[in-house]
Structure 1
Amino acid sequence: MSKAMPVEANLTEGPIGKSLLLFAMPVLMGNVLQSLNGTINAIWVGKFLGESAFAAASNANNIMFFLLSLVFGVGMASTILIGQSVGARDEVQAKRVVGTSALFFLSMALLITMAGVGLSASILEWMQTPVDAMTYALGYLRIIFIGIPFMFFFNFIMMILRGAGDAKTPFYFLLLAVFLDIVLNPLFIFGLGPIPRMETAGAATATVIAQFVSLCGLLFYLYRKKHFLRLTGADRHYLRFDSQILGSLVKKGVPMGLQLMFVSTSAIAIVNLVNSFGSVATAAFGAAMQLSTYIQMPAMAIGSAVSTFAAQNIGAGKWDRVHKTTLLGILLNFMMTGMLVALIYVFNRQALQLFLQDEAAIAIGMNINHITLWAFILFGITFVLSGVVRSTGAVMIPLITTFLALWCIRVPLAYYLGRQYGLDALWWSFPIGFFAGILLSAGYYIWGNWKSASMLDKKKAIE
């Protein structure tokens, strides 16, 4: 057992329910902060620059979600490997994972930045971004692409820390990032003194600066506190592409990344369909999705928590705790997501008015919420089940399940309903797609062979 590995990183002992809730809450609050950041940006843009600018930001943010999904899988694979290593009390393996995955993240981020800056206009045209929103969207997206390396690496370090059992430190530095973004947004959007008026590009600039400063602060803190996963001069031999770990990150991470890509591309496909109904519909859908982002937060936080818990307990060989974690995760999702859904239903119009001024857009947004919000409880169950299953290294069936639920059911159904019966009908594709997802995920959890999977090739076990 490594003496440098703190006891508080261990999630393989003690009461599961209490520990799961305490671990999930900072993750949840971190998700809230990240979305609050986006929401405040949206309020500034929507209220002061108009529906066209808001539609532009919504389109650009969907592209950003797609880009994050490219590296999300590698981040999740790293988190699981870190969790299993900490559960097994193997600090050497944990550092090898950190070194390899850090290099991978930086390489991917730089490639995406170089390609994205040049292809921004083409991407937005492919999405059928409304003409009146194109200029706003282009300026916003190009700035975001420039900030990709900082954003990706900041998120990577936070995922690594959570895999090691630390959910509090990422929360504190997310709080710093959001505070900076809130302060800088109006300065760069409207201009002040030597700062020029940048409008939507200003919102992106504020976000990039805030992420960069928080990343620097987080790195300084980890080295100042001598965190057991930091890489020092003596650990520089870990900062390389370890063939075994890189193979696992690619083999396991790519399917997990593809799973999120299916989610993001399906969202882009729906936005593409909604764009054909005009800027008002796009703005309404963007506002409704801002609210649904908050609805999904408990499920995402609990899913992340159960994945970390399960990974550490799998590393320690404690399968009874893995199954208890699953059941408690589902129960927490019902309680937390259900309360948020009820709250939005009560204050539906008022919530949408935070983003929208046009009465037609508000009416469309209210209809979207009435039809779709309750179904996010089903989404939460699927997220918890997938989080536990993936923590073993079983990644292909969750990938196939996501593809079937989204691209074989939700997207085709949305296009059929939208084109046959109009805008109001296409929203029913959401609950139907969620229901299909939960049936497939629950079936695999109960009857599948996911428990026999592994993250690393056992024939090439790390010494």
Structure 2
Amino acid sequence: MKNKQLNLTSGPILRTLAELALPIMASSFLSTAYNITDMAWIGMLGSKAVAGVGVGGMYVWLSQGFSSLTRMGGQVNMAQSLGKGDRKSAAGFAQAALQLTILFALFVTVVSMVFTGPLLKFFTLTDAETYNSARIYMRITCGLILFSFLSQVLTGLFTAQGDSKTPLKANFFGLVLNMILDPLLVLGVGPFPRLEVVGAAAATVTAQIVVLLILITGIIRDHGDSNVLRKIQLLSRPELSYVKGVFRIGIPTALQGSIYCIISMILTRMVSSFGAGAIAVQRVGGQIESLSWNTADGFGSALNAFMGQNYGARKVDRIKQGYSISLRLLVCWTALITIAFVFFPRYISVLFFHEEEVVRLSIDYLRIIGFSEILLSVEMMTVGALSGLGRTQLCSVISISLTVMRIPLALILSGTSLGLNGIWWALTLSSVAKGIIFYITFQYICRHSLLKAAGSKN
């Protein structure tokens, strides 16, 4: 079988990044297409259903702190081990990451099923329809979170060894299936029953199962020596050093993601005081915004593996050039997103909302948030790059510190004549600040400490 893994430490940088990043970006665009169409179908059920799915989905997001821990910890350590030519360690880190992922998923399942009511009470939902939609969506998606967790971590491990094509194929089939099942199960087309929110959750979980099965098949069918994932043994006891290594790299990322989600939950509670329509706008707006951050996440994932292997091989010049090339490409794309959000928000909003008042709220959201898209993407891409260098703790400190500031800023601005728009401005201003600081931080590390840190690996 043809070798699917890329050696990221040699060859033309643009071509190497393109071969790795394009499949990841294609997966991100597929995910964006799914998220947007998913919200469009649910939007046909009304803003209350959208708000309920948004609230229930918050706990799916919060639980992903566990999968981000094992994905980042496994991916970075595996990539750096491969850069050093140490395949035994690479397999050990991958095995530890997957075993921890299974344990975390089982924990989330138990908690979400037992404490559904108390967890949803945090949002003080006063509308019965919104609450019921949130309860149903949360119990199904969090209760079967194992498939999502394993798919995410395996995607990171495939990328670490330079194979982004297998995850692309898996996500392509999964997302297409999801997009097909959504209208069938949500609205009840033909012989299918009208399941509404239950259908949306069932379509999502079914697609996640398909993605996982394709990834596992990819591991089994690739008999090449460079396929490190084939060498792992899930039923054997992992070495403690590998488990510690996964936690060392992954914990800062997990804390960053979880705290970020908690802050968003607090902001959602603030938004809920403006009604279900406002919650729906926040939920749908975030999905539309994924046109920017899914692309940035794709660049970040590619740079994570690229930086990890080149850092392990101590090739500093390739690290600098890889970041510079990625930055220029990403800025060009997100500039187009900014133009669309700022100048054409109504055309976007009417695709998802059918109540004029909610459309008006959505227009305000897109215009305000549009000003932060470029720097939001710079932040996400740079986090991936710095994490590949093992600087996950630094990323967490910067991101958490500035994201926490959204709460007091939102409280102050929403208390003025801006009202709900004050919360959106709090999101925008903090994203702008983070993007600037992350860019400066990466440049500082390149100029002052990267060469020394890489040299110390000798």
Q: TM-score, normalised by structure 2?
A: 0.92
Whichever residue aligns with residue 425 of structure 1, its letter is G
Partner of 1:206: 203
Aligned to 1:332: 329
Aligned to 2:62: 66
Shift of residue 446 of structure 1?
3.6
Matches within 5 A, 1:279-428: 279-407=276-404, 409-421=405-417, 422-428=419-425
Aligned to 2:47: 51
- Give yes or no for contact 1:63–1:268 (8 Å, CA) kept in 2: no
Q: Distance in 1 between matches of 2:409 and 2:105?
A: 34
Query: Partners in 1 of 2:449 and 2:62 — Cα distance?
Result: 27
1:254 is matched with which residue? 251
For the 8 Å contact 1:392–1:454, the answer to whether it is kept is: no
Distance in 2, matches of 1:145 and 1:106, equals 14
Q: Is the 8 A contact 2:305 2:388 kept in 1?
A: yes
**Residue deviations 1:138-170, cap 9 Å, x none?**
111101022200111011111110111111110
Of 93, 97, 101 in structure 2, the residue corresponding to residue 101 of structure 1 is 97
Matched with 1:89 is 85
Q: Distance in 2 between matches of 1:197 and 1:5?
A: 45
* Equivalent runs, 1:31-180 vs 2, <5 Å: 31-47=28-44, 49-131=45-127, 132-180=129-177
Indicate if the aligned counterparts of 2:382 and 2:438 stay in contact, CA closer than 8 A: yes
Query: Per-residue displacement from partner, 1:306-327 (whole Å, max 9, x unpaired)?
Result: 1111111011111111111121
> Which of the residues 162, 167, 181 maps onto 2:178?
181
| Counterpart mapping for 1:263-282 below 5 A | 263-282=260-279
2: CA distance, partners of 1:149 / 1:452: 40
* C-alpha deviation, 1:187, in angstroms: 3.0
Write the distance in 2 (CA, Å) between the matches of 1:361 and 1:193: 31
Q: Residues 99 and 240 of structure 1 are in contact (CA less than 8 Å); yes or no, is this contact kept in structure 2?
A: no
Using structure 1 for the length normalisation, give the TM-score: 0.91
Q: How far apart are the structure 2 equivalents of 1:194 and 1:262?
A: 43
**Equivalent-residue separation in structure 2 for 1:206 and 1:8 (angstroms):** 31
* Residue 346 (structure 1) shift: 4.4
| 8 A contact 2:249–2:390 mirrored in 1 | yes
Provide the C-alpha distance between the structure 2 equivalents of 1:193 and 1:215, rounded to a whole number of angstroms.
Answer: 29
Mapped to 1, the partners of 2:244 and 2:270 lie a distance apart of: 38
> Structure 1 residues 119, 36: CA separation in 2 closer, same or farther (over 3 Å shift)?
farther
Q: Which moved more, 1:134-143 or 1:183-192?
A: 183-192
Letter in 1 for 2:228: L
- Residue 377 of structure 1 and its aligned partner are, at CA, apart by 0.6
Residue-by-residue CA offset, 1:360-394 (whole Å, 9 max, x unaligned): 11111111111111212111222232222221222
Residues 246 and 296 of structure 1: is their aligned pair in 2 closer, same or farther, counting only changes over 3 Å? same
Q: Cα distance, 1:431 vs. partner?
A: 2.5
- Letter of the 2:282 partner, please give it: F
**Letter of the aligned partner of 1:229 in structure 2?**
V
Q: Residues 374 and 72 from structure 1, CA distance in 2 versus in 1: closer, same or farther, beyond 3 angstroms?
A: same
Change in Cα spacing, 1:103 to 1:348, as seen in structure 2 (3 Å) is same
AA at the equivalent of 1:13: S
Indicate if the aligned counterparts of 1:10 and 1:86 stay in contact, CA closer than 8 A. no
Q: Segments of 4+ in structure 1 off by > 6 A?
A: 452-455
Q: d(CA) in 2 for partners of 1:454 and 1:156?
A: 27
2:237 is matched with 240
How far apart in 1 are the matches of 2:166 and 2:423?
Answer: 41
| Distance 1:278-1:153 versus aligned 2 partners, 3 A rule | same
Q: CA offset at residue 341 of structure 1?
A: 2.3
- CA deviation vs aligned residue, 1:276-319 (integer Å, no higher than 9, x gap): 10011112222222211112122111111111111110111111
Provide the rounded CA distance (Å) in 2 between the counterparts of 1:200 and 1:275. Answer: 20
User: Which amino acid is the alignment partner of residue 450 of structure 2?
Assistant: K
Alpha-carbon spacing, 1:146–1:164, altered in 2? closer, same or farther (3 Å): same
Partner of 2:229: 230
Q: Which amino acid aligns with 2:87?
A: E
Q: Which runs of no fewer than 5 residues in structure 1 stay unpaired?
A: none
Match for 2:230: what amino acid?
L
- C-alpha separation between the residues in 2 aligned to 1:18 and 1:110? 40
Name the structure 2 match of 1:218: 215
Secondary structure of residue in 1 paired with 2:233: helix
Distance, in Å, in 1 between the alignment partners of 2:235 and 2:2 is 17
CA-CA distance at 1:219 after TM superposition: 0.9
Structure 2 unaligned segments of length 5 or more: list them: none
Partner of 2:450: 451
* Cα offset, 1:137, TM superposition: 1.1
Whether contact under 8 Å (1:55, 1:279) holds in the other structure is yes
Give the superposition deviation at 1:453.
9.7
Separation in 2 of the partners of 1:5 and 1:196?
Answer: 44
Residue pair 2:296, 2:380 contacting (<8 A) in 1 also: yes
Report the RMSD for the aligned CA atoms in angstroms. Answer: 2.5
Distance in 2 (alpha carbons) for counterparts of 1:283 and 1:238? 44
Count of residue correspondences: 451
Q: How many Å apart are 1:212 and its aligned residue?
A: 0.8
Identity of aligned residues (%): 24
